[in-house]
Amino acid sequence: MADTSTRFDIAIIGSGISGSSLGAILARHGLRVVIFEAGVHPKFAVGESMILETSETMRAMAELFDVPELAFFSSEHYLAQIGTSHGLKRHFSFLHHEEGRPHELRRSLQAVIPQRPHGYELHIHRQDSDYLLTSVAVRYGATVLQATPVKDITLREDGVEVLTAQGALYQADYIVDAGGMRSLLAEKFGWRSRELQAHTRTIYTHMVDLPCYNQIGASHQSYGIPFPVSEGTLHHVFHGGWLWVIPFNNHPAATNPLVSIGLQLDPRIHPAREDLSPEAEFFNFVERFPSIAAHFRGARAARAWTRTGRLQYTATQIVGERFCLQGHAAGFIDPLYSKGLYTTLMSTALLAHLLLDAHRDRDYSAERFKPLEELTLRYVAAHDRVVANSYKSWSNYKLWSVYSVLWLLGAYTEYVKLLSTRGRARSRAEYFATVQTLRLVGGGFAEFKALADRIDSIIEAVDPCDEAAVDRAVAEIRALYDATPWIPWAFRQLLAGRNHLPANKLRLSLLRQSSAGFMGEGAFRRHFFGDATMAEVARFFASESVKYSASALTLRKRLGFRKRRAAPSRVRVSRG
């Protein structure tokens, strides 16, 4: 008879956001789950900037799987519950720079995040978020073995065996490898691939004493943008790379002095300086751009600098018999646009759905998990293309001024589709039947994909150093936008020269029934809203505003605390 202390339904390698969220869901639904973690929480991680698509996926996971804690990092309205080590994100801001020249105010873009209906987004301090979610998994009954690296995995017809570095042996019906780039199973089967368009490396750390850029350079009023750039995620972009600035200290209640910093460079344009330390290379590089150099003068690192080789990798396959790759074990492209965390959590949600059904039917055949493989590879491929073409467009500001609109349009339509799908789905199965067909951007809308394919092809073909060719490409892209009737008016304003989106892209005044309105008409309206009326959409919008308001969340937390005090739950605690 098998030792029940080492026999589980599901084994998971890695307790980052993906592994811990999956473990919490499965344990909440009665499965015996073991999570192997090579490190010890709290531990450093990057991937700190939330986006609308990621937050909406978190809300869907919380509701569909009845794990409310999974929504904790989806909005500023949860700060009272998760603590003040996290930052606020009101926008994405981009400042386009040229070497040797001060920044020109006109080369700016601020994509404001709508405050309604859910509140602004967050910059999540990952050592806190990942530890919290791991603790949530434990609370629901998962066994978490920290400081327990996995040495080997044996796949059998009736299950899997996991051998730890300490020599302990565990059995499970299925194993999920969420162990990142050095995935044991990807290496075991030779699935790792770097056949991707994007090609970048990074230097990153956390810093203190970094002021808001608007205190060093021109004010946000001078830029004509709604918010200071420190109140969101700042991107300094330039030929061959970009630099992220993600503050955790940017709101009145903040207690965390850190700012996350990362410099991404195409090594074919900016080769690594192995003769310099990572810190010295960072400061040596930013000196090329006077305004960026001024921004970082006086800032100090709070942890050791990290310098990597090429970031990009994927997998030729994602699923096999009795196992799958998950999160960054399946692939990673670039931190740009914060799509990696969205890819991770959407694939986690779909995997949880598939595993619950597989456990119910006692059928873990690889064929049942093909939707996970198809979705993951689509997302990675889409992110690869948009990243590669964004880097190329930064080599000539005229290209970036039109390509940035495609990125924004893809993100906006994806978010609208996710939100409307959650609002309309009557079951978990119905929700996943829709979202498993998505492509990371565009909300699965065929007309967006056709538009994006044409614009991406134009960017891929143009030489950014040939001004005449660039002018022709820009004119061709603008003509494509002009011929697309369903593009919302706010995006047309960007094409007309405005440097920011309105403060609330989903305000009710946009719900007018015309091709320029929020709901649109024809194929656009059918795809994103089905047969819903404007009144039904408005009611859903209003109900979300109430349901996810700070006051409603605080009330639910207090009621839940009283309920737990009246009937404390039993949790299983294990040590590796």
Q: Please give the C-alpha separations between residue 48 and each of 12, 246, 413, in angstroms, as whole numbers.
A: 22, 8, 23
Closest CA to 91 of 264, 228, 255: 228
Task: Give the Cα separation of 6 and 167 in Å (integer).
Answer: 13
Q: What are the φ and ψ backbone dihedral angles of 88, each rounded to 5 degrees?
A: -100, 145
Give the pLDDT score at 519.
81
Q: What is the pLDDT of residue 567?
A: 55
Distance CA 130, CA 69 (A): 12
Give the closest residue to 315 by CA, choosing from 387, 390, 368, 372.
372
Contact (Cβ atoms closer than 8 angstroms) between residue 349 and residue 55: no
Q: How far apart are CA 544 and CA 373, in angstroms?
A: 32
Neighbours of 144 (CB within 10 A): 25
3-state class (DSSP) for residue 227:
coil
pLDDT for position 505: 53
Q: Give the global pTM.
A: 0.94
For residue 47, which of 230, 211, 262 has the smallest C-alpha distance? 262
Report d(CA 214, CA 212) in Å as an integer: 5
Q: Between the ranges 355-359, 514-518, 550-554, 557-561, where is the mean pLDDT highest?
A: 355-359
- Work out the mean pLDDT of the chain and round it to a whole number: 93
- CA 192, chain centre distance (Å): 22
Q: Are 176 and 13 in contact (CB under 8 A)?
A: yes
User: Could you read off the pLDDT of 12-23 as tens digits, one per residue?
Assistant: 999 999 999 999
- pLDDT, residue 556, reads 85
At 566, list the tokens.
Answer: 């009246």
What the block records as the tokens of 15 is: 């307790």
Q: pLDDT tens-digit profile of 413-443?
A: 999 999 999 999 999 999 999 999 999 999 9
467 burial (CB, 10 Å; 0-12 / 13-18 / 19+) is: exposed
Is the predicted pLDDT of residue 545 greater than 70, yes or no? yes
Query: Which range among 86-90, 318-322, 531-535 shows the weakest confidence by mean pLDDT?
Result: 531-535
- Weakest mean pLDDT among 85-94, 97-106, 180-189, 462-471: 180-189
Whole-number pLDDT of residue 184: 93
Q: How is residue 389 written in tokens?
A: 């073409």
Distance CA 201, CA 289 (A): 19
pLDDT band at 512 (very low <50, low <70, confident <90, very high): very low
Token representation of residue 552: 């409603």
Instruction: Give the pLDDT score at 146.
Output: 97
d(C-alpha 347, C-alpha 392), whole Å: 28
Main-chain phi, psi angles of 237, to 5 degrees: -120, 150
Query: What confidence tier does 506 reach under pLDDT thresholds 50, 70, 90?
Result: low
- Segment 207-240, tens digit of pLDDT: 999 999 999 999 999 999 999 999 999 999 999 9
Q: Name the β-bridge partners of 111.
A: 92
Q: Give me the pLDDT at residue 503, please.
A: 72
Q: Count H helices, E strands: the chain? A: 19, 20
